[in-house]
Each structure stands twice: as structure tokens, then as C-alpha cells.
């Protein structure tokens, strides 16, 4: 069996309380005793039982990182950047538990005792019950990526709508008028925000909308390919396509290339997210930078401060999205 503070206590001829205090660096203990006990603990390779600690201290040392789903709609890069950002902040002070919300049959195991804090990387309104559940139980909580309306909660989100506006505005500035959109996964909040940005830009510059130019997608590569294939059959076909994320843009480019057409000469493509891969595509993708790693890093830092200070703030913070111009758009305004 493993060694406990009582074992150490026996060998040191002190009570287990003294051992506990020595190992927790309590000022009550004589420095010499402290040193003796620590040496002993090291020799015996003592490791504390965190379950016992947790029980009495009412802290779990666990942080939850929850995604809407780990199955479809969560891109590899999104997951990667989120985990990396959070992990950079917490280092080895907490355990990071990763899970898809839709894997839960019941939220049974989600409570204050099991999680010191929770980060929800939210994409869909389907997360709402989960968020409310956690909020009701007063678990320190941060919701990232998706803007929340009803619940009072700390919320950090990229300005998707503005980003979409910017990139569509850019297409218009390059002379495009037949601008299609390949949309994200239905009932994802980001889908809606990006669609709104697209429409507002079109309206502001008085570019007519065409229903056929609006194609559904679900954020993955295949759906971008399929949607673009449909767009290519239209007459007249669009001169530019706004893909609601970079994965779908990649799928769209493939569909175009297979038809012996060239991006951007024949059709211009823009994406959204600015993946680590986006700058390396052929052609390099013009897109919108959404600082997910930064958001998750700052979200994690905020969460830790909530836990440590026991004060929670509740506000919505927007992170700027910015246009990244590369090589996937051509100017067709004819000289201007």
C-alpha cells in the first residue's frame, strides 16, 4: 500500500497532525522538525492522497473544459487552440478534464465538488441547459466563443459579426457583386452572427441578395465541398464566395479546382477563423482572424482569478476580429 502521513508520523515520532502541518509549510512548526519530516517524506516517496485532501478542503483541483460536441462541427484546430490556450495558463496546478457536452446522459457528475471551475467552449444554443445547470450550482464559470443572452455569466467572444462584415466589405471593394455565402452548422450561434455580418455589408453597399447564393453547410470540409459544387451549377455563378469557416473554404477550393477552375482568377474565396493551416493553402487564404488561443488563455486566467479570489464578475467581453488579406481574392473592378 501507499505511504500516508501516519506512516511518516510513526517513523518521526510525532503526531500525524505535525506531519500534515510540516508538509503544508505551516509556520507553527519548528524548522528542524519540519526539515526532518520533509526529508523522511521524500525518502519514502510520499505522495498525498488528493481524494482525501479534496474531501476535507472542498476543492477538487479539477477544471472542466467543455465543448458543445467532440463529434461534428468542432474542427481539429479549434480544439487544439482551446486546449493549448487553457493548458498554458493552468500548467500543473489543476487537472484539465476535456469533454463534449453532448456526451452526457445526465449532468450528475457536474458539481462544485468535482470541478473547481468550468470553461465552456460553446458553439451551440444546445449548451444552454448545461450552462444554466452549472450556473445554478454556483460553479465558477466562463463561457467562451458564443455570446450568451439570458444567463448572467462571464462571457468572452470574438466579434464574429463584425469580422464577417469586414471580409464581405473587402470582397465588395474588390468589385464583387455576385457574392455567395456557405453557412455554418445550423443552430450554432456563430453561424447566425456571420450570416448577419454578411447581410449587413451587402445591404450597406446596396448589393442585391440572391437566395440561391445562400448555401447551407456544417463547418466541415465535406460540407464546403458539397455546397460549392451546388454553387458552381448556378447561372450566373457567383464571382466570390464567403465560406463561414476555413475548413469549408478548403472544401470549396477543392470543388473549384476539380472543375478545372482556378482560385482566385475564376472565383474568389474567403474564409473565417484564420487557422494555422490557412496561410499555407494554395492559394493562401484571405480570411478573418479569430483569436481563439488568446480567448481561451484569457478566459482560463480569468477563471483562475475567480477561483482564487472567490469573486466572480459577469460581463461580456468582445475580442476584435481582423481581416487577413492573402491571395484568394482577385480584383474584378476593372482597373479601379
Which residues contribute to the site for its own copies (CB under 8 A)?
Answer: 2, 47, 49-52, 54-55, 60, 62, 70-71, 76-77, 79-81, 83-84, 87, 91-92, 95-100, 103-105, 108-109, 111-114, 221, 225, 250-251, 253-254, 257, 276-277, 279-282, 284
Could you tell me the smallest distance in angstroms from the CB atom of residue 1 to DNA?
6
Partner from its own copies, DNA, none contacting 23, C-beta within 5 to 8 A by type: DNA
**Least spacing, CB of residue 11 vs its own copies, in Å:** 20
- Part in contact with DNA (CB under 7 A); list of ranges 52-60, 92-100, 275-283, 300-308: 52-60
Residue 53's Cα: distance from chain center in Å? 31
Do the beta carbons of residue 74 and residue 103 sit within 8 Å?
Answer: no
Phi/psi for 320 (5° steps) reads -65, 135
Q: Does residue 53 interact with DNA by CB under 7 A?
A: yes
Query: What is residue 291's three-state secondary structure?
Result: coil
Q: Are strands 240-243 and 287-289 parallel, antiparallel or unpaired?
A: unpaired
Whether the CA torsion 125, 126, 127, 131 is positive or negative: it is positive
Q: How far is CA 216 from CA 182, 208, 244, 271, in A?
A: 6, 19, 10, 15
205 in Cβ contact with 169 (< 8 Å): yes
Minimum distance between the CB of residue 51 and its own copies, rounded to whole angstroms?
4
Judged by CB under 7 A, the chain residues 29 through 48 that form the site for DNA are 29-31, 33, 48
DSSP string, 142-170: EEESS---SS--EEEEE-HHHHHHHHHHH
86 binds DNA (CB under 7 A): no
Q: Residues touching DNA: how many (CB under 7 A)?
A: 27
Region from 4-12, 239-247, 259-267, 280-288 binding DNA, contact rule CB under 7 A:
4-12
Q: Which does 17 bind (CB under 5 to 8 A by kind): its own copies, DNA, none?
A: DNA
Q: Which of 35, 43, 55, 76 binds DNA (CB under 7 A)?
A: 55
What is the rounded CA–CA span in Å between residue 260 and residue 256?
Answer: 7
Pairing of strands 95-100, 141-144: unpaired
30 binds, among DNA, its own copies, none (CB under 5 to 8 A by kind): DNA
- The yes or no reply on residue 1 touching DNA (CB under 7 A) is yes
Smaller CB distance to DNA: residue 33 or 95?
Answer: 33
Amino acid at each position: 500500500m501507499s505511504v500516508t502521513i501516519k506512516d511518516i508520523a510513526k517513523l518521526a515520532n510525532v503526531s500525524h497532525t505535525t506531519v500534515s502541518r510540516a508538509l503544508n509549510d505551516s509556520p507553527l512548526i519548528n524548522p528542524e522538525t519540519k526539515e526532518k519530516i520533509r526529508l523522511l517524506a521524500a525518502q519514502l516517496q510520499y505522495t498525498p492522497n488528493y481524494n482525501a485532501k479534496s474531501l476535507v478542503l472542498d476543492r477538487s483541483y479539477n477544471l472542466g473544459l467543455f465543448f458543445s460536441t467532440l463529434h461534428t462541427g468542432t474542427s481539429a484546430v479549434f480544439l487544439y487552440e482551446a486546449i493549448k490556450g487553457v493548458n498554458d495558463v493552468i500548467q500543473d496546478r489543476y487537472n484539465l478534464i476535456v469533454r463534449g457536452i453532448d456526451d452526457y446522459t445526465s449532468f450528475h457528475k457536474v458539481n462544485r465538488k468535482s470541478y473547481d471551475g468550468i470553461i465552456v467552449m460553446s458553439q451551440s444554443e444546445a449548451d444552454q441547459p448545461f450552462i444554466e445547470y452549472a450556473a445554478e450550482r454556483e460553479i465558477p464559470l466562463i463561457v467562451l466563443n458564443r455570446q450568451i443572452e439570458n444567463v448572467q455569466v462571464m462571457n468572452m467572444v470574438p466579434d464574429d459579426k463584425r469580422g464577417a462584415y469586414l471580409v464581405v466589405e473587402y470582397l465588395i471593394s474588390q468589385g464583387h457583386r455576385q457574392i455567395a455565402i456557405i453557412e455554418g452548422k445550423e443552430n450554432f450561434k456563430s453561424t447566425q452572427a456571420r450570416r448577419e455580418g454578411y447581410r449587413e455589408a451587402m445591404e450597406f453597399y446596396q448589393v442585391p441578395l440572391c437566395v440561391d447564393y445562400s448555401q447551407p453547410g456544417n463547418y466541415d470540409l465535406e460540407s464546403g465541398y458539397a455546397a460549392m459544387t451546388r454553387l458552381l451549377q448556378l447561372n450566373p455563378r457567383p464571382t466570390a464566395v464567403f465560406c463561414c469557416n476555413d475548413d469549408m473554404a478548403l472544401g470549396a477550393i477543392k470543388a473549384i479546382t476539380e472543375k478545372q477552375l482556378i482560385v482566385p482568377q475564376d472565383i474568389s474565396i474567403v474564409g473565417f477563423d484564420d487557422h494555422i493551416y490557412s496561410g499555407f493553402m494554395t492559394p493562401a487564404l484571405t480570411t478573418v482572424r479569430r483569436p481563439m488561443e488568446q480567448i481561451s488563455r484569457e478566459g482560463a486566467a480569468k477563471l483562475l482569478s475567480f477561483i482564487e479570489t472567490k469573486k466572480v464578475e459577469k460581463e461580456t467581453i468582445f475580442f476584435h476580429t481582423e481581416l487577413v488579406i492573402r491571395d484568394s481574392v482577385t480584383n474584378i473592378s476593372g482597373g479601379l
